[in-house]
């Protein structure tokens, strides 16, 4: 196993984003850079194993400070000690990843759940960099609901899919403001689809990776959306990906569009994906839904 001290010279990269937003696609492309090492699988280290204990410990500390709470590890550890212990777990995990390619300069990991824990990750992995891929929430909702039906993964109805998307996106964006442009980078799924080489080069530069146009273009060509992005949730979505609005216009019923707007319409508009009233594809749609709030 690689000594932990050797990790200090490595650059950590984390890809985050809501489920069904293209995190796996981007992860696979970055993994092909010769300077990058990754497990090619989702470790879920922070979202599954460290976030809950970190929150529990912080709750105990605050209770002790406010109410003289006398229970838990906060009786023996302060914040620095506890995070030092978690950091040793992080170092051990990624030293095992680095064993796969000791000469790599960059260690890459991703999981949609990481989007909600950027600041914790920043404390445990100082100077890491985050790449946040954002996709139209309407298309994410469609993909999530299809995945639930076919793979039993994710939310199976509009409210759950919409709020899950918004929770991930807002959490990552808010943390990104604190981290700054040198540590946090956003890319739109739609832009990556239409200009893969161009945006992949920009991501490589942000990550501090050597950029050679021919090399990046080869990675982009090998990972074209037409080759790679086949939805296991609903293969019929593939044909609609290159049609602006094609997925949500064809796959969301009127009531689903209306409800999605009620739940996350403000964020869709904030991100420039939609305008007010987008859910109505014609005047009859507005008329049909005029009494809906009273009916339910």
pLDDT in tens, 237-266: 666 666 677 889 999 999 999 999 999 999
Q: What is the pLDDT of residue 236?
A: 64
Q: What is the pLDDT of residue 103?
A: 96
Q: What is the pLDDT of residue 121?
A: 98
This prediction's pTM: 0.91
Q: What is the pLDDT of residue 244?
A: 72
Segments in 70-157 forming alpha helices (H): 79-98, 118-124, 137-151
Q: What is the pLDDT of residue 234?
A: 57
Ordered mean pLDDT values, 10 residues apiece, the chain (296 residues): 70 97 96 95 96 94 81 89 96 96 97 97 96 97 88 86 97 98 97 94 97 93 73 59 79 94 97 96 89 70
Q: What is the pLDDT of residue 230?
A: 47
Q: What is the pLDDT of residue 148?
A: 82
| Contact between residue 87 and residue 8 where contact means Cβ atoms under 8 Å apart | no
In the three-class reduction of DSSP (H, G, I as helix; E, B as strand; rest coil), residue 246 is classed as: helix
**DSSP classification of residue 74:** G
């Amino acid at each position: 196993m690689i000594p932990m001290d050797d990790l200090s010279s490595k650059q950590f990269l984390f890809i985050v984003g809501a489920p069904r937003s293209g995190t796996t696609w981007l992860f696979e492309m970055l993994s092909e850079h010769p300077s990058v090492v990754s497990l090619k699988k989702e470790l879920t280290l922070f979202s599954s194993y460290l976030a809950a204990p970190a929150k529990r410990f912080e709750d105990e500390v605050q209770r002790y400070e406010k109410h003289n709470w006398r229970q838990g590890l906060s009786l023996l550890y302060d914040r620095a000690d506890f995070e030092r212990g978690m950091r040793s777990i992080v170092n051990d995990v990624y030293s095992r990843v680095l064993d796969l390619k000791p000469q790599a300069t960059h260690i890459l990991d991703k999981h949609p759940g990481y989007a909600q824990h950027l600041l914790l990750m920043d404390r445990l992995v100082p100077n890491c960099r985050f790449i946040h891929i954002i996709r139209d929430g309407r298309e994410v909702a469609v993909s999530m609901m299809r995945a639930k039906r076919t793979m039993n993964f994710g939310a199976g109805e509009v409210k759950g899919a919409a709020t899950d998307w918004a929770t991930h996106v807002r959490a990552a964006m808010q943390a990104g403001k604190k981290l700054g442009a040198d540590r946090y980078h956003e890319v739109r799924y739609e832009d990556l689809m239409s200009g893969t080489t161009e945006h992949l080069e920009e991501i490589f530069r942000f990550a501090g990776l050597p950029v050679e146009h021919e090399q990046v273009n080869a990675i982009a060509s090998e990972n074209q959306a037409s080759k790679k992005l086949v939805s296991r949730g609903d293969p019929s979505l593939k044909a609609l990906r290159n049609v602006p609005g094609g997925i949500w216009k064809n796959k969301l019923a009127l009531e689903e569009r209306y409800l999605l707007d009620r739940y996350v319409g403000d964020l869709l508009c904030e991100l420039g994906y939609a305008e007010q009233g987008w859910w109505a594809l014609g005047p009859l749609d507005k008329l049909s839904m005029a009494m809906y709030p009273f009916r339910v």
